[in-house]
């Protein structure tokens, strides 16, 4: 299955999911998107760039290095402390998950605020291995 087909399939399993995307955080590029509404391309590109900033912005590696240093760990691996980020906006829940086998890739699921957050997070986590395998 292609990444677009897989994203469409897994987005349907996440409660009240209005949009889903798969982002390469190293480049800030959107690799796949599924949405129920049409959005201007500029908005979609900004969402991908913002996702990359959340996981790889200039302060994130600094924080991760500080965590490693405080724990006496070497700063020579690619381990990331930020694995999942949840953003609650006025009307939406944004669930962002870093890949386990491909940590430069992040899946984003945008759900209605009325969705059960625990169920949305659980279903998004379940979807990750299938998304990673599709790329």
**Residue ranges of domains in the chain:** 3-134
Average pLDDT of 104-122? 96
pLDDT category of residue 72 using cuts at 50, 70 and 90? confident
- Measured CA to CA in angstroms, residue 12 lies from 43, 61, 104 at distances of 22, 33, 24
Cβ atoms 113, 93 nearer than 8 A: yes
pLDDT category of residue 1 using cuts at 50, 70 and 90? confident
Predicted model pTM: 0.90
Position 32 scores a pLDDT of 94
Instruction: Report the C-alpha gap between 120 and 3 in whole angstroms.
Output: 20
Q: What is the dihedral of CA 68, 109, 27, 70, to 10 degrees?
A: -10
- Measured CA to CA in angstroms, residue 5 lies from 30, 80, 83, 105, 110 at distances of 15, 28, 24, 17, 17
Q: What is the CATH number of domain 3-134?
A: 3.30.450.30
Cβ atoms 134, 101 nearer than 8 A: no
């Amino acid at each position: 299955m292609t990444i677009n087909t897989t994203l469409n399939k897994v987005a349907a399993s996440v409660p009240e999911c209005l949009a889903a995307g798969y982002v390469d955080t190293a480049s800030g590029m959107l690799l796949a998107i599924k949405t129920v509404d049409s959005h201007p391309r500029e908005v979609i590109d900004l969402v991908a760039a913002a996702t990359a900033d959340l996981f790889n912005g200039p302060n994130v590696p600094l924080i991760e290095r500080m965590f490693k240093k405080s724990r006496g760990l070497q700063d020579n691996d690619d381990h990331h402390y930020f694995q999942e980020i949840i953003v609650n906006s006025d009307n939406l829940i944004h669930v962002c998950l870093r890949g386990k086998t491909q940590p430069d890739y992040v899946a984003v699921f945008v759900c209605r605020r009325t969705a059960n957050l625990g169920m949305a997070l659980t279903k998004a986590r379940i979807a990750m291995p299938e998304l990673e395998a599709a790329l």
